[in-house]
Amino acid sequence: MKTAYDILKEASKINRSVIAAEVDGHAVDLTHKVAEGSEVKPLTFDDPEGKKIFWHTASHVLAAAVKRLYPSAKLTIGPAIENGFYYDIDSDIPFTPDILEKIETEMANIIKEDAKEERFTLPRDEAIALMEQQDEPYKVLLIGRVDEDEEISFYRQNEFVDLCAGPHLYSTGLIKAFKVLQCTGAYWEGNSENKMLQRIYGVAFTKKSDLDAYVARIEEAKKRDHRKLGRELDLFDIHDEGPGFPFFLPKGMILRNLLEDFWHEEHRKNGYQEIKTPIILNQELWHRSGHWDHYKDNMYTTKIDDVDYALKPMNCPGGMLVFKRKIHSYRDLPQRLAELGLVHRHELSGALHGLMRVRCFTQDDAHIFMTPEQTEDEIIGVMNLVDKFYNIFGFKYKMELSTRPENSMGSDEQWEIATEALRRALDKTGKPYIINEGDGAFYGPKIDFHLEDSLGRTWQCGTIQLDFQMPERFDLNYIGQDNERHRPIMIHRVVFGSIERFIGILTEHYAGAFPLWLAPVQIQLLPITDSNNDYCDSVYEKLTASGFRTECDKRNEKIGYRIREAQLAKIPYMLVLGDKEQSAGAVAVRSRKEGDKGIVMSVDEFIASAVAEVKERRNT
């Protein structure tokens, strides 16, 4: 039987960039034996599956280096992740920066050895015996969960053997550039009741220039960290007294309110009606919606009058009750109910991350109730709304169609109808999308929007979920043209995703230098001497009367110092006011982006220019 490598070579599809293969849609090693008639395609580092294989192999190199240096360390799992890989290790030795350097050096030795990755399988009992012999208790535990009649696969590189399903590179020598990034704590299987392990992160590439570019992006990302900028710019913070519960400060509230005002404006234009539903609702409702069975571990619960209640983790059940309050005709549909709803979810403390992962946040939800004939148009309408929002902020984005997960509600027929409706709407837009098998919500398939920021990072924000289950569970109806009761179809959708997370993304996207329409302070007035203070006050009054968020810096400091301070505060415009400007009724304009523009203009001219910039919501 030929290997994937043999078949690709015969088809002249092998070159230095090929690192693995895809056989009948499944990623495999190049040494994988292929059945006759199978479809075989090459995989390179540029392919998502190729990248995953490359990084997973690098995680094994990392584990092998740790075991060479610290044989008593116990290995757990080492997957590829979105940007690199990690390996979780149980060790009494703390992996300090000095030790990480030693591990990195040993990884380089293993790569230089060009060790071949050899796959072999064992029956379950022999696999357990092998891992017991190597004193790897976590591997023994993992094997013990596998069915008795199932063979277990391993990979060997020189003396190192690890439990692994694969696939892998055929040789460690293909890893041309890599870096150990950091070590953090992580509970075994993400459970805080389990032992704390050490998680070593790394990244690897096929050429050094890609690694250098990645490291540069990491350094830039550190400068843009929204947690750091949130404190420096006085926007938001999270305190020890409320882990995962963000505090918004006055300037942060300006930014937040501007985003919400924009949201209100665009939703009014698109025929949405706004509602507000309670934060706490009783257990019976959550049983009815299915959340109690599918989501209970993430919910905060309480008792009121000896009855179990829960803080809502999602807004949709409240939206169901709003629709159900009266009888609807088909003429009333589609009905678009929008809500900026505060939700609470019990996230593990180790998963919390600034505004990106919190325990309470405001979802910009909407629930659209419609007839089957309206479904496609409504999906496209939401897609157009999302497109407008993301373009305003200068984001590119990609779309994914996520299909039925294992733990789901509803019939095969309902899922097929819902999935096809989303697929047809996507096809009509003519925009590219990918299929994300098995990643839908438990009640329906969805379209996810992954936006790309200025550093090329992607964030999942908007989503459109098509739902046949909630209308069924809540017995929702409308009266059709035939004067009979019919079940509406429902769309769940968000655009921002959550206000808090979107603010975190925006802060990093703009590096805190928000465009004029979003900047908490838009204009800083800088009188050169005290004799210009009265003129400064008159300009201030004109600017604030025109709606601009303006501050005056009259401190007894040199003008250069005050300009630098305003620049560090990332204020879009600094207007310098000296005797010349005062006598002419003018301002000398400095731009955060361009510095001294060498422009002196009348106050009215500046106001007209700035008003146009705000009105157009320019994103730079």
Token representation of residue 556: 């007894």
Selecting among 492, 501, 509, 592, the annotated active-site residue is: 492
What's the first-to-final CA gap in the chain, in angstroms? Answer: 59
With vertex at residue 407, the alpha carbon angle to CA 401 and CA 412, rounded to the nearest 5 degrees, is 65
Determine whether 492 is an active site residue.
yes
DSSP structural state of residue 99: H
Selecting among 164, 316, 360, 536, the annotated active-site residue is: 316
Neighbours of 114 (CB within 10 A): 12
For tokens 């050895």, name the residue.
Answer: 113
Identify which of 47, 94, 354, 61 has the alpha carbon closest to the alpha carbon of residue 202. 61
Determine whether 549 is an active site residue.
no
Concatenated DSSP letters for 335-355? EEEEEEEEEE----GGG-BTT
Selecting among 168, 179, 267, 446, the annotated active-site residue is: 446
* Chain-centre distance for alpha carbon 3: 38
Identify which of 40, 38, 39 has the alpha carbon closest to the alpha carbon of residue 8. 40
Selecting among 198, 335, 363, 522, the annotated active-site residue is: 363
3-state helix, strand, coil in the chain (%, to 5): 40, 30, 35
- Confirm if 126 and 199 have CB atoms less than 8 A apart: no
- Confirm if 386 and 462 have CB atoms less than 8 A apart: yes
Determine whether 360 is an active site residue.
no
Determine whether 168 is an active site residue.
no
Selecting among 162, 365, 448, 453, the annotated active-site residue is: 365
- Confirm if 106 and 68 have CB atoms less than 8 A apart: yes
Determine whether 273 is an active site residue.
no
Determine whether 524 is an active site residue.
no
Q: In Å, how far are 238, 389, 522 from 567, measured between CA atoms? A: 25, 28, 12
Selecting among 139, 256, 291, 367, the annotated active-site residue is: 367
Token representation of residue 78: 């080492």
Determine whether 363 is an active site residue.
yes
Cis-peptide into 515, omega within 30 deg? no
Across the strands, what pairs with 524?
Answer: 551, 574
Residue type at position 291:
H
Selecting among 32, 344, 345, 592, the annotated active-site residue is: 345
Concatenated DSSP letters for 190-234? G-TTS-EEEEEEEEEESSHHHHHHHHHHHHHHHHT-HHHHHHHTT
Identify which of 73, 65, 152 has the alpha carbon closest to the alpha carbon of residue 109. 65
DSSP structural state of residue 117: -
Cis-peptide into 167, omega within 30 deg? yes
Q: Looking at the annotation, which residues are catalytic?
A: 316, 345, 363, 365, 367, 446, 492
